[in-house]
Amino acid sequence: MAEQRVSRWYFGGLASSGAACCTHPLDLLKVHLQTQQEVKMRMMGMAMHVIRTDGFFALYNGLSASLCRQMTYSLTRFGIYETAKKHLGQGSQGPPPFYQKVLMAAAGGFTGGFVGTPADMVNVRMQNDVKQPPAQRRNYSHALDGMYRVLREEGLKKLFSGATVASFRGALVTIGQLSCYDQAKQLVLATGLLSDNIVTHFLSSFIAGGCATFLCQPLDVLKTRLMNSHGEYQGVVHCAMETAKLGPLAFYKGFVPAAVRLVPQTVLTFLFLEQLRKYFGIKVTT
């Protein structure tokens, strides 16, 4: 009988937080590009503009909110997915079929998207603050300060602004990341050409990152616009209609920086996750 290690339910949150520390500047640039009313700058131009205007460390604005988001959003979605997968795997031969992985990922991502909405909204605002004139900046000290001020000044409803879009986006990106990663890894191992090593983890997570970017980009644009709005949108449908006026490609504004951010984040998340599983996972006998 072989022995292997499986993830603990909170490993996903820890791995995602580690990845977020590495990719946060890319996430900030993506937000800046998505909130342009007209395409004025590309990725490198936006990066140089931020650095010239507010200094290099402005690329890390909102890092506390990003980590808070990962420890709510990603902790929830990974926890639900891993727990459900472990439950379905009990007493069965082999991994669950792909459609079950998709359903588990969708459920975990939808729940995680809702739970992580407050931190996500503060994250978007803190990242976008440097673009505002000094008099209009919100100047949140950190994530908890931002959430408290939104709750006090704008109410609970505003704290969950964009929750619908964030939940559906969470479902799509989790399908792209978790279920596609597991399926890609399963198919790669089935070829017999690679073992369960870092090369397999990298290849599988790279595929998963591409799938996640393609699935979630339109909703990601709407979510960012809603969370950063000053009341100009009446809801998701209105935001979508206003965005559509800019042309169909407006829904994929910032696609390249989104891929440049999400693919490395996905790769790093699963590399970290596999190492946590290898050294600190729960031992099971198969």
pLDDT (tens digit, 9 = 90+) per residue, 87-99? 887 656 678 899 9
Output the pLDDT for position 61: 82
Are 131 and 85 in contact by the 8 Å Cβ rule? The answer is no
pLDDT tops 70 at residue 23: yes
Confidence of residue 193 (pLDDT cuts 50, 70, 90): very high
C-alpha to C-alpha distance for 11 and 86, rounded to whole angstroms: 14
Q: What is the mean pLDDT of residues 195-215?
A: 94
Q: What is the mean pLDDT of residues 265-275?
A: 96
C-alpha to C-alpha distance for 158 and 173, rounded to whole angstroms: 24
Bridge partners for 285 per DSSP: 3
**Alpha-helical regions (H) of the chain:** 11-34, 43-54, 63-69, 75-89, 98-115, 117-128, 143-154, 156-159, 163-174, 180-190, 198-227, 236-244, 255-280
Tens digit of pLDDT for each residue in 105-115?
999 999 999 99
pLDDT tops 90 at residue 135: no
Confidence of residue 190 (pLDDT cuts 50, 70, 90): very high
- What is the domain-level CATH number for residue 216? 1.50.40.10
Output the pLDDT for position 1: 52
Identify the domain containing residue 82 by its residue range: 3-285
The gap between the terminal CA atoms of the chain, to the nearest Å, is: 6
In the chain, the number of structural domains is: 1
Confidence of residue 175 (pLDDT cuts 50, 70, 90): very high
Confidence of residue 280 (pLDDT cuts 50, 70, 90): very high
CA dihedral 73, 6, 276, 273 (to 10 degrees): -50
pTM score of the predicted model: 0.82
Output the pLDDT for position 237: 84
189 or 2, higher pLDDT:
189
pLDDT tops 60 at residue 200: yes
C-alpha to C-alpha distance for 206 and 177, rounded to whole angstroms: 9
Please identify which residue in the block is written with the tokens 């996750």. 273
Angle at 284 between CA 283 and CA 286, to 5 degrees: 145
C-alpha to C-alpha distance for 260 and 202, rounded to whole angstroms: 15
Output the pLDDT for position 214: 85
CB atoms within 10 A of CB 231: 8
pLDDT tops 70 at residue 212: yes
Q: How deeply is 6 buried, as exposed, middle or buried, from its count of CB atoms within 10 A (0-12, 13-18, 19+)?
A: middle
> What are the structure tokens assigned to 26, written together?
């890319």
C-alpha 168: how far from its chain's center?
12
Confidence of residue 286 (pLDDT cuts 50, 70, 90): low
173 or 93, higher pLDDT:
173
Please identify which residue in the block is written with the tokens 């090593």. 197
Q: What is the mean pLDDT of residues 35-61?
A: 79
Are 274 and 47 in contact by the 8 Å Cβ rule? The answer is no
